[in-house]
Structure 1
Amino acid sequence: MYTVSLIRAESYELKELRSRLEYLLEPLGGMAAIVKRGDRVLLKPNLLTGSRPTKECITRPEIVYCVAQLVQAAGGKPFLGDSPAFGSARGVCKANGYLPLCAELDLPIVEFKGQRYSTDNKNFQHLRLSKEALAADVVINLPKVKSHLQLTVTMGVKNLFGCVPGKMKAWWHMEAGKDAERFGEMIVETAKAIAPNLTIIDGIIGHEGNGPSGGEPKHLGVLGASTDVFALDRAMIDILNVDPATVPTLVAQFKQGHCSELAEIEFPYCQPADLQVSDWKLPEALMPIDFGLPRVLRSTFKNFYIRLIKEPMKTYGKD
């Protein structure tokens, strides 16, 4: 039986948010059950882009700040990392107001670098994943609830695709994206490899419509947490009232035996039905996952240009 903690939460005000997060984690044993003294703890938010900072495209910095506080109170040493679609983690953090909160907590921001990882999946025998994520003592996954033009919805499992460094994301879109089912399977393999110790999903304000960045904010008033990322995604999709069969990551996790039924989950607080929304907007039309080679090349060049030309010192030095 999996445990998924779901609660109502209405505000990103720091004092109230920290109190709600502490309450959210109580059924899981609190942060002290996840983090031990001296642990190096990766906080993995969704840092998709530095553009559209008011459109709720990324995990709110207040979530990361409060979770980092809880990690420090448990004796852990948190650091923040991601591999944004374009640009650097630090650049996206700066554009979205993270830096003052990170500075206050002395929270390092790291840029992910790749490491070859072997799997037991015959379709994906090797993945290139973040060395920093694989080497961390604890990984805390901090996704944002969003609609997605290619995968219908992005939640906890899809957020771990951010542990695929830089231009390798575009490569996987080309290599596995010819088949949505295969692409979903690759993302599930990535989630299994990273194996987050805790996932806390930011659903206070989500991003609906033509996501992951082209939609609009949507107030949901939800926080969710679980030590099993697959169970949390299964619960969240019910809150959004979206058919799991339309979400490739959920289809793939079900095929691999990862939490397909709500009956497998214990809910110590709210049930998904208590928080369900009936008017969540999905993309107007789904796009192909396969970018094709020209877009891969454009993506690679743009990533290189932003990191090495537009942000030559700001990414790795002082702002």
Structure 2
Amino acid sequence: MTAVSLISAKSYEIAALRQSLEELLEPLGGMRAFVKPRDRVLLKPNLLTAGRPGKECITRPELVYCVAQLVKEAGGEPFLGDSPAFGSAKGVAKNNGYLPLTEELNLPIVEFRGQRYATASENFNHLRLSKEAMNADVVINLPKVKSHMQLTLTLGTKNLFGCVPGKMKAWWHLEAGKDTQRFGEMLVETARAIAPQLTIIDGIIGHQGNGPSGGEPRFLGVLGASADVFALDRAFVDILQVDPALIPTLVASQRLGVCPELQEIDFPLLSPSALQVSDWKLPDALIPIDFGLPRVLRSTFKHFYIRFIKEPLNAYAQK
């Protein structure tokens, strides 16, 4: 039976958070159950944007810091990577206060490069994915609990879309976004291909309303972890009391037979019902997933401008 560990956690203060993570991972065997000496370990947070620091749009740097500590103590060699919507992973990390903590741990931040990988999926057998993720010995997925204006909620499965490099994400919105079921299936197949060994969801403070970036912070006081990203997502949907039928990734994962029902999941600590909130805010309205060609082209241009012109010029000016 798949195990999902859930605890109440109230603080991002390093010592308290470290203790919470150890408590969270203990029923799963601790970090050493996932990381062996000399393993190269990708830490994959949600680094969506540099534009709204303090609005809880991204995974908290304190969480990444504590997880990196645990990986190092298990003998692993952690590195941090993501493919943000705009700009570079290092640029977004810098704007959101990551660098003091990553520099203290000598934690490298890598930019994802893409390569096509064969998958078991007949509908998505040509996925272009991050080489850094696919070549890592261990992937630890570190999503943020957020509402989402296209997908209702973004949790562990959607966070792995960040392993699709550069603006390929926008082109997937164009190619698959006309069909919500197809887009949800593509996200599930991406998650299956990346196959994270461990997912830890940052739910101490979530982001509700018009997410993934236009909403507001919301204290939840929850951390969750599992080796099964789909089971963990299912548990958080119950915590937030959102109809599973509204979430394309969950619908697709259940249709493909990779997401267990709640009664098939072992909760060794707290159950979702013990952590439920009754007034989690979803988006004011859901907008189409399909970005349309003009929007994709504008997004692509903006990405390249920030990544290859604005950020290098800012770095040069600070020298």
TM-score range, shorter chain: over 0.9
In the alignment, what sits opposite 2:172? 172
Aligned-residue offset at 1:120: 2.1
1:307 and 1:315 in contact (8 A); partners too: no
| Alignment CA distance shift 1:314-1:2 (3 Å) | farther
In the alignment, what sits opposite 2:197? 197
In the alignment, what sits opposite 1:118? 118
Hey, what's the Cα distance between the residues in 1 that align with 2:36 and 2:125?
32
2:47 and 2:89 in contact (8 A); partners too: yes
Quick one: percent identity of the two aligned structures?
76
1:60 paired with 2:60, answer yes
Letter of the 1:270 counterpart: L
Structure-to-structure mapping, 1:10-159, within 5 angstroms: 10-159=10-159
Q: Provide runs of 4+ in structure 1 moved above 2 Å.
A: 313-316
Hey, what's the Cα distance between the residues in 2 that align with 1:250 and 1:229?
11
**1:146-181 superposed Cα distances (whole Å, 9 cap, x missing partner):** 000000000000000000011100000000000111
Q: Secondary structure at the match of 2:312?
A: coil
TM-score between the two structures when normalised by the length of structure 1: 0.98
| Alignment CA distance shift 1:288-1:49 (3 Å) | same
Aligned-residue offset at 1:312: 1.7
Aligned-residue offset at 1:119: 1.4
Q: Secondary structure at the match of 1:222?
A: strand
Q: Secondary structure at the match of 1:147?
A: strand
1:282 paired with 2:287, answer no
Letter of the 2:175 counterpart: E
Hey, what's the Cα distance between the residues in 2 that align with 1:167 and 1:31?
33
| Alignment CA distance shift 1:275-1:25 (3 Å) | same
| Alignment CA distance shift 1:160-1:79 (3 Å) | same
Hey, what's the Cα distance between the residues in 1 that align with 2:191 and 2:101?
28
**1:233-263 superposed Cα distances (whole Å, 9 cap, x missing partner):** 0000000000110000000000011224101
In the alignment, what sits opposite 2:249? 249
Q: Secondary structure at the match of 2:153?
A: strand
1:117 and 1:126 in contact (8 A); partners too: yes
Q: Secondary structure at the match of 1:311?
A: helix
1:79 and 1:109 in contact (8 A); partners too: yes
Letter of the 1:197 counterpart: Q
Letter of the 1:239 counterpart: I
1:115 and 1:131 in contact (8 A); partners too: yes
Hey, what's the Cα distance between the residues in 2 that align with 1:77 and 1:18?
18
Q: Secondary structure at the match of 1:67?
A: helix
Aligned-residue offset at 1:11: 0.3
Gaps of 5+ in 2: none
Letter of the 2:96 counterpart: N
**RMSD over equivalenced CA pairs, Å:** 1.3
In the alignment, what sits opposite 2:269? 269
2:250 and 2:259 in contact (8 A); partners too: no
Aligned-residue offset at 1:123: 1.1
TM-score between the two structures when normalised by the length of structure 2: 0.98
| Alignment CA distance shift 1:119-1:232 (3 Å) | same
| Alignment CA distance shift 1:285-1:112 (3 Å) | same
Hey, what's the Cα distance between the residues in 2 that align with 1:223 and 1:121?
31
Hey, what's the Cα distance between the residues in 2 that align with 1:268 and 1:167?
40
Hey, what's the Cα distance between the residues in 1 that align with 2:60 and 2:292?
32
Letter of the 2:128 counterpart: R
Aligned-residue offset at 1:314: 6.2
Hey, what's the Cα distance between the residues in 2 that align with 1:11 and 1:314?
34
Letter of the 1:159 counterpart: N
Hey, what's the Cα distance between the residues in 2 that align with 1:229 and 1:292?
30
2:6 and 2:272 in contact (8 A); partners too: yes
Aligned-residue offset at 1:296: 0.7
Letter of the 2:304 counterpart: F
Q: Secondary structure at the match of 1:146?
A: strand
Hey, what's the Cα distance between the residues in 2 that align with 1:173 and 1:68?
32
